[in-house]
Structure formats: C-alpha cells, structure tokens
Chains A and B, each alone.
Chain A
Amino acid sequence: MTVTKADAPVTTASNEPTGESEPVGSARSERLSALIQQHGALAVLVLVSLVASFSFDSFATGDNVGNMATSSAFLAIVALGMTFVIITGGIDLSVGSLFALGGVLAAWGSRHGTLVALLLPLAVCGLIGVVNGLLVARSRLAPFIVTLAAMLGARGLLLAITDEGADTFLIGKGSFLAELGQGTTLGLGNPVWITLVLFVAGAVVLRRTRFGQHVYAVGGNEDAAALMGAPVARTKILVYTLSGLLAGLAGALNAAWLASGVTILGNGMELEAISAVVIGGTLLTGGLGYVSGSLVGVLLLKVIQNVINQIGSLDSSYQQVVSGAFLAVVVIAQTWLGRRRQLM
C-alpha cells in the first residue's frame, strides 16, 4: 500500500492550513485536483512549446530541440535523484557541488582509462551521499544543514583537487568517455538516451518495488512507516546515496560532453533541480511525487530558458525572474490543491 499525504494522518503541524475550513467537495473535484497536481506542468509545457513554435521559426527545428534535449539531460539526471530525496521529505543541497566534483574527477580519471573515469566520480560522490544519509538518518540532523555542509565540503574538495581551481583536466578525443558524452544514437545525443533509461528505471523502482513503497511511506508519515515495519533509516541512507551517485554521474557525463572538467559548473544547480521537482508536482513536504513530473519540470525550465534566448532583445537575466515567478505560481497552486485534498 502506498501512503500518500492525502490519506496519512495530518502530523506536520507547521504546515497545517491556517485558513478556515472549506466545504467538503466531491470525489470528482478531488480527482481533478490530483490530475492538475500530476499533469499541470505537462499541460503548461505543451502550451508554452506550441506558442513558442508558432512565434519563433527557429524553435521547433531538429537542431534546437536536440540541443535542448541534450542540455536538459544533465539537470534531469540530478533532478531524478532529488525527486527520491524530496519524496522522503528531505532535501539535498549538495548536488550542485557533487555535479562539479563528478565532472572534474571524471576528467582527471580519464588519464587512467575509461573505467577509472566513470568509477571514480561515482565512488566519491556516492560516498558523500552515504555520509549525508548517515547524518540525516542515524544522527537525525536536519537534511537541509547536513547537505549544506556537504555542499561546502565537496566544493572545497574540488578546489583542493584542482589546485584552487587553476588546473583544468581535459578528456581525450575519441575515447569511449568522449563518445558517451558527445556521440549520437538514432539522431539523439547519448546523454539523452542515458537519461531516458535512468528515468524509466527510476519510475519502476519508485512505483513497483518495495524500496519505492518505503520511500513514499517514509515521506508520508515517518512514525507510521516505522510502525508498519519499513526500514526508515536504511531508506533515507539509500535515497541520499542515490542522489549523490546520480549527481556524480551527471557531472561525469557533462564533462564528457564538454571534453573537460569545469570547476565552476553546478553553481545554483541544486535550486534548479529542486525547482524542477517542485514544478513537476512533487510535494516538498514529502509522501507524494512523480519521477515523470520532474522530467517535465526540467524540460519546462529549459524551454523557458530557450524562449528567452530566442527573444533576442530580452536579457538572459529575465530567465531568473521568469523561473522565480513560475516557481512561486506553481507553489501557490500546489499548496492550494494540496490543502483542498487534505480537507476532503
């Protein structure tokens, strides 16, 4: 059984609606709320894309779509891990640093062969994820603070490896790693295929496995999950590990795509990933969320970015304004929908 926020007993006192109670609605409007929550972002994505392709000749071209897909891939992989963390009611601020660290480690490791280039970032970023998970689950520290420290620590480690950001490591042309990042299969960039496979796997894990059920249960109501016999601590440790691994992998793929490990990447990426996950319908309070929504959220952010770039007269800083405004609207809508469902 999946425990969602809607049927779990209300325990989050600080989030309890402060408003006066609304009249109890019908099951139909509840379904409608759920539908908007799950697919609202997709509808907006389709709408924005349609308007953009009518407004700009250069939007719906194969090249532009391919570029958007590839540049979305890396953020999407990070957002996938973040989705798991957020469904458990946690948050991972370290992914931006781990993304950069993964890229630099992959580029450095590519001197010693592809295997090292791929395993080193996964090992280091995964280990940092394990430490995050242990501190959150076993020591019961706030996820926000633990991953904040990991964000600083990982960035520090990155600077130490690269001689305070002075060294840049290149990835040789023609290597398997370079092919993985830069090559295309059936007209789509390899990172896009990898992302799609990861998302399908992520959706299956979340929806069809015991671990996935535990993720929802922990986020829905931790105490209830523990009483039900769900391994709360192990689930939390696993989601932070997964988030670290995916951030490292995304960084490694990105480095392969760029042919070098760039130290300044990943700044603010944690916010982009969180925004994408939230826009995609996952509740930050935990217990409810969709992997597919996060993918839609990433695409929506990238399409908005692309549209703003297409409007030549608009400065790129408008992108931040629009993303921020968008996030605010989504969050208000989500809270409102969530409140309605909770009251029913």
Chain B
Amino acid sequence: MAEATLRTAPLDKTRVLQWLQTYGVYAGVAALLVVNTVITPHFLSAENFRTQAVQVAPVIIVALGMALVIGTEGVDLSVGAVMALAASVTALYLGYGLLPALLVVALFAAGVGLANGALVALVGVQPIVATLALMVGGRGIALVLLPQLEDLRNPALASLGSGDILGIPYLILIAAVLALLVAFVVRRTTFGRQLLAIGDSRPAAQLAGLPVRRVLIIVYVVCALLAAVAGVLATARLQASDPTSLGNLMELSAITAVVVGGTPLTGGRVNIAGTVAGAVLIQLLTATLIKHDLPPSWTQIAQAIVIVAAVYAARGRGKR
C-alpha cells in the first residue's frame, strides 16, 4: 500500500498524511542527521554517537514497555517512579552483591506491575488512574527507602554502566536486544497477537475467549520490569542513586517516543521500530538545540510541537 502511494503522482492531503504517519519519524531522524552533519561541528564522531546512544538507551527501554501497554489501549504513568524505586532498592541491597540486588529490584518492580495490572484487569479501573496511584506512591516508597542521593561504589555496577563489548557500551546492547525481543513478541507470538486483539476491542477479545485478564496483567508487569531495567542502568551510569529526580517525567518521554513512532493511543497496533526511532528523534532534537546553545526552554517548546504534530498526523488512523 505504501509503494502504491509513492508511485502515484498527484499529491493529495490524505496521502501525504498517510506517508507522514508511516515514515515521518524516520524522515525526521534522517533530516536531523543531515542537518547536524552540515551545521554542527564534530557531529560525525564516534564519540558523539556513543554519547547520544548511551543517553537515549534508558528512554528506549522504558518506551518498549510503554508501547506494549499503549497497544492494549492503556497507559502506564508509574514508570518514572519505578525507575526511582529500582535505584533505591539497588542501593539498599548492593551490599549483598549485584545479582541478589537485581533480584530484589525485579521483585519490587513485578509487585508494582502486578498492582497496576490487577487494578486495570480485575477491578476494571481506567489505566491512567490505576497507574496514577503508583506514580504518586511509588516515588514516595523510593524516598522512604532511601531519602537522599547516595554514591554507589560497586565495581560490578560500575562496569555495567560504563563497560562495553567491541566498543559498544552494554547500555546500547541491552537496549537493542530488548527492542528485538519485544518486536519479536509483538509480531511472532500468540501473546503478542492476543495483546493487539485486546487493544483493538476488549469486549471482542473477551467474546473470542482470549485470556484478557492474564494478558493485561503480564503486560503491566513487563512494563514495570523494563522500567526497572532502565532505572538500574541509569543508576549504574550515574554511579549514584537519586530517588528524587531519577525518572522524573520519564513517563512523558516514553509516551512521546511511542506516539511519535506511530503507535496510536487507541490501541490495537504497536510499532516497535517506530518507538525506537521516536526516542532517537527526540534525543537528536534536544541535542541539536543544546549544541547550538539554544536554551532548554526551546527544547521543551519544540518537544511540545513535535508531540502535537505527531498526534495530529496519526489522527483518524485508529479505530475511532
């Protein structure tokens, strides 16, 4: 269908919009790369690409989970709080070694995801409200566990944050592997198909006999676990646990990446490659503005415009 669009000559508005919906995010990334190559000094250096990629890796990981939740016509506001929680718990249990600490982190995150999922799937609460409670409470728990910023001196954690294989940092590798894994689950597994069916129409999925509750709960647990992974990685990179500001506004960045990447908020469709590109687009946009000494206020305004433009382009694509 996309090829047909490209071959026909006369431009009309709906076709342009359709093309923008599908390829706009990649075009945006490409345009920013070209513009930066021309106008930004030292842009084309391995060092710079590495920095940008390491910075965007946690956003991508959180956005992967968010994409799954949005695919079920939900939203998860608690991901930033889960990142902070993961940081606090890592700091508390690091004394027992990295692996035990990670295990406890996973347990905490699974608990949060289970609570979100149960509220949505069993009680029938709207996702935005269900996850709002843990967005408020989760960071509170993180702060109760560890009230202030704490430096972490642990060689294993440090190497997780700054180590690499063949020059590629662990952070990027982990983000890439997780993205491939999630894309595989969405496209090739029964679970993925069930997830999309639920997002398309929950009553229909129910009538068709799909395990709606189970799938929804698993989706929220996976989302929380991915947020915890991002939290641990961000903590490893900073070599400090910062419960007050780690993951702040992350839910918004993640939702933005998913939406800009072409996944409709109305559920039923998930675009993982687009989500990754969406996160990269926003990272590049921010980096471009900062590198040219434009103030942070411009970054926020630019981000706001990108969000509205992306949603406007995606308008009418969903089922409504």
* Complex contact B130–A16 (CB within 8 A): no
Set A145, A157, A323, A332: member contacting B125, Cβ < 8 A = A332
Q: What residues of A have a CB within 8 angstroms of the CB of B296 in the complex?
A: 156, 159, 164
Please tell me if A50 contacts chain B, counting CB pairs below 8 Å.
Answer: no
The residue in chain A whose Cβ has the minimal distance to the Cβ of B140 is A320
> How many whole Å from B85's CB to the nearest CB in chain A?
11
Set B144, B256, B315: member contacting A139, Cβ < 8 A = B315
Set A135, A155, A315, A327: member contacting B147, Cβ < 8 A = A315
The interface bits of chain A over 316-340 (1 if a CB of B lies within 8 angstroms of the residue's CB, else 0) are 0111111111011001100110010
> How many whole Å from A341's CB to the nearest CB in chain B?
13
Please tell me if B300 contacts chain A, counting CB pairs below 8 Å.
Answer: yes
* Complex contact A164–B132 (CB within 8 A): no
Q: What residues of B have a CB within 8 angstroms of the CB of A339 in the complex?
A: 124
Please tell me if A313 contacts chain B, counting CB pairs below 8 Å.
Answer: no
* Complex contact A19–B136 (CB within 8 A): no
Set A13, A91, A146: member contacting B128, Cβ < 8 A = A91
Work out how many contacts link A and B, with CB atoms closer than 8 A: 151
Q: Is the interface of A mostly helix, strand, loop or mixed?
A: helix
**Interface residues on chain A, size class:** 35 or more
Please tell me if A200 contacts chain B, counting CB pairs below 8 Å.
Answer: no
Bound CA span A320–B144, Å: 9
Given that A141-B312, A318-B144, A331-B125 are contacting pairs, would A271 and B135 also be in contact in the complex, using a CB cutoff of 8 Å?
yes
> How many whole Å from B308's CB to the nearest CB in chain A?
5
Bound CA span A325–B124, Å: 17
The interface bits of chain A over 14-58 (1 if a CB of B lies within 8 angstroms of the residue's CB, else 0) are 111111000000000000000000000000000000000000000
Please tell me if B250 contacts chain A, counting CB pairs below 8 Å.
Answer: no
* Complex contact A149–B304 (CB within 8 A): yes
Q: Which of A247-274 contact B (CB under 8 A)?
A: 271, 274
* Complex contact A331–B119 (CB within 8 A): yes
> How many whole Å from B123's CB to the nearest CB in chain A?
5
Set A142, A151, A156, A332: member contacting B123, Cβ < 8 A = A332
Please tell me if B311 contacts chain A, counting CB pairs below 8 Å.
Answer: yes
Please tell me if A243 contacts chain B, counting CB pairs below 8 Å.
Answer: no
The residue in chain A whose Cβ has the minimal distance to the Cβ of B256 is A148
Set A135, A159, A327: member contacting B133, Cβ < 8 A = A327
The residue in chain A whose Cβ has the minimal distance to the Cβ of B78 is A324
Q: What residues of B have a CB within 8 angstroms of the CB of A142 in the complex?
A: 265, 311
Given that A327-B136, A328-B133 are contacting pairs, would A160 and B202 also be in contact in the complex, using a CB cutoff of 8 Å?
no
The residue in chain A whose Cβ has the minimal distance to the Cβ of B127 is A14
Q: Which of B165-209 contact A (CB under 8 A)?
A: 201-203, 206
Bound CA span A158–B301, Å: 10
> How many whole Å from B143's CB to the nearest CB in chain A?
3
> How many whole Å from B317's CB to the nearest CB in chain A?
12
Bound CA span A156–B295, Å: 9
* Complex contact A335–B123 (CB within 8 A): yes
Please tell me if A98 contacts chain B, counting CB pairs below 8 Å.
Answer: no
> How many whole Å from B16's CB to the nearest CB in chain A?
17
The residue in chain B whose Cβ has the minimal distance to the Cβ of A318 is B144
* Complex contact A156–B298 (CB within 8 A): yes
> How many whole Å from A11's CB to the nearest CB in chain B?
11
Contacts A145-B307, A317-B144, A323-B140 known; list 8 others, CB within 8 Å.
A18-B212, A19-B124, A141-B308, A141-B311, A155-B297, A156-B297, A328-B119, A328-B133
Nearest first, the 7 closest Cβ-Cβ pairs linking A and B are: A324-B137, A320-B140, A156-B300, A317-B143, A159-B297, A153-B304, A321-B140
Q: Give the A-binding residues of B (Cβ under 8 A).
A: 73, 75, 115, 119, 121-126, 128-130, 132-141, 143-144, 147, 201-203, 206, 212-213, 252, 255-256, 259, 265, 295-301, 303-305, 307-308, 311-312, 315
8 sample A-B contacts, Cβ–Cβ < 8 Å, listed by A number: A135-B308, A152-B301, A152-B303, A159-B296, A271-B132, A318-B144, A321-B144, A335-B125
